[in-house]
Amino acid sequence: MIGIRELGPGDAEALLRIYSAKSTKYLGRAPMDAAEARSYVRDAAASAVQSPRTLYLLGLDVDGDLLGIVKLHRDRPVAAISYILRADAWGRGYATEGVRKIFALAFGRLGLPEVRAKHHQDNPASGRVLRKAGFVPTGEHAGFMTYAIRIPGGRADPRPAPLRSPCVTMLSSP
């Protein structure tokens, strides 16, 4: 079963495997170390109790294994998503499924009208993920390809209902 869920303190080890040198190559950042992994899960917990919540930093969980991270950023005029998958899990459709699941949050529960995304121009696999999920290319900016998806009639609710408690799978499909 694939789902997205809140992160917990027990996820720090899995984050180290997700944010490897291979996976961070086009992200403009270094691989994660143990100290960063611990602070990452603390930041995720803090963002989960923000009100209004501006960051959804969620785990992509496949049969109980944390294989990736999907994020929804609401700290900007138009919301944006980003994602990263553990390298040994690439090529199985998980990133695309993770993007679709975050749509359910963005367009369903939060009622956002638009979400944007971008990827490094040398990272075409990420562009394929975005297109498969329904994003439309909007151009290029500073070496990144930009994308958007709009839902006619979306509502921007600044005070969405809280998620269930951390570590509970909140959106899943068989």
Ligand X SMILES: CC(C)(COP(=O)(O)OP(=O)(O)OC[C@H]1O[C@@H](n2cnc3c(N)ncnc32)[C@H](O)[C@@H]1OP(=O)(O)O)[C@@H](O)C(=O)NCCC(=O)NCCS
Nearest to 145 by CA among 131, 160, 162, 164: 131
Residue 44 or 95: the one with the smaller Cβ distance to ligand X is: 95
- Binding segment for ligand X (CB under 6 A), chosen from 8-16, 124-132, 155-163, 166-174, is 124-132
Which amino acid, one-letter code, is at 13? Answer: E
User: Cα–Cα distance between 130 and 7 in angstroms, integer?
Assistant: 24
Per CB under 6 A, 169 contacts ligand X: no
Per CB under 6 A, 145 contacts ligand X: no
User: Cα–Cα distance between 130 and 137 in angstroms, integer?
Assistant: 9
For residues 83 to 102, the per-residue mask of contacts with ligand X, x marking binding by CB under 6 A and - elsewhere, is xxx----xxxxxxx------
User: Cα–Cα distance between 148 and 135 in angstroms, integer?
Assistant: 5
User: Cα–Cα distance between 152 and 97 in angstroms, integer?
Assistant: 22
- Binding segment for ligand X (CB under 6 A), chosen from 1-9, 36-44, 100-108, 120-128, is 120-128
Cα 55 to the chain's mean position, in Å? 10
**Radius of gyration of the chain, Cα coordinates, nearest whole angstrom:** 15
Which of 9, 10, 108, 124 lies at the binding interface for ligand X (CB under 6 A)?
A: 124
Per CB under 6 A, 107 contacts ligand X: no
For residues 29 to 68, the per-residue mask of contacts with ligand X, x marking binding by CB under 6 A and - elsewhere, is ----------------------------------------
The strand pair at 55-62 and 2-6 is best described as: antiparallel
Per CB under 6 A, 82 contacts ligand X: yes
Nearest to 80 by CA among 56, 53, 45: 56
CB-nearest residue to ligand X = 95
In the complex, the residues that contact ligand X under the rule CB under 6 A are 23, 26-27, 82-85, 90-96, 119, 123-126, 128-129
